[in-house]
Structure 1
Amino acid sequence: MDAFFASDFKEAPQFTYSYPEEQVTKAFKDNSEVCFDYLPEARRIMDKVRHSPGGVDAFMKTMYGEEKVSSEELRDLVADYLKEHNVEDKVEIRIVEGMLSAANVVKPSPDKKYIVNIAKGMISKPIIHSICDHEVGTHLLRMMNDEHQVWHGFRDRYKLANPWTTEEGFATLNT
């Protein structure tokens, strides 16, 4: 990482993973297939945003609004959302510095609670319910449901694909 920082972020960072090299290689291979089928549509959308009146800034203002809420307010909303779904006792909510997204869901190990991480800082108010629908209503509930399925921990044995591709698409629709 020293070379990455010393190069003023021009040299690609080199990471050392805590998993065996063959497991890391397989994970990258399994998750690195890029589909370009929708690239023309994505370009059309991006061009439309760039050329809309006021440009990207006006679009973002319209899309996300100017009103913000604190990470503590989002935490409280997530807690209420968990209660509505009767899973509050299975989840810990943390406010975390330096996140790249507003929130995410993880389960550190089979014997631990799920964790909903929330980015420390201000978050656009119009999207906070969508964050709950996306992270809790899709990712968390799918993860919890998966633990009750015969294939849990044995997806390869049942020739099941990685659920993340389909799930992320569904989570986006559920946002």
Structure 2
Amino acid sequence: MHAYVGLMAGHHHHSEISGDGLVDAARAVLTNAGEQWTDMRADVFRALATAEKPASAYDVAEQLSALRGKRVAANSVYRILDLFVRTNLANRIESANAYLANVHPGCRHDCIFLICDKCGQAIHVDDDGLTGALRKAGQQAGFADVRPVVELRGLCNACAV
């Protein structure tokens, strides 16, 4: 599973949820948002939550097709992933067109991702000082509801050796 790291002075403190507890938390967030927790949505969330690296809609559709024994369309998965991003159950890695399960659903904050160019691993970092400055710059430029998403690419420790 992807890692979550809090760095620097302004970071959040989270207890990372996993397994059935993460699925239960995601279900609660989605139903509290007035949405239904269907079997398909549960399967998509589990696929994201157990992925070793960010997963594309096609990756998830392929996994679910094998699990269900029938073809699952990537378009159906995209709609669910879009819902998950809107309700803060997943984060989208823009540069890879891939998704990660939010391991602390219900907590809305800015995203900084460190992405390995070799293995595709993504690490999520919180730094309110950095993202707060970005949010402020957006607001000063006249934008409302600014939500910074920062992606840094490089090599993880394992791939750098």
Superposition TM-score, scaled by structure 1 size: 0.27
More helix by percentage: 1
Larger Rg: 1
- The structure whose residues are more often strand, as a share, is 2
TM-score (ref. length: structure 2) = 0.29
Question: Relative contact order, CA 8 A, sep 6+: which one is greater?
Answer: 2
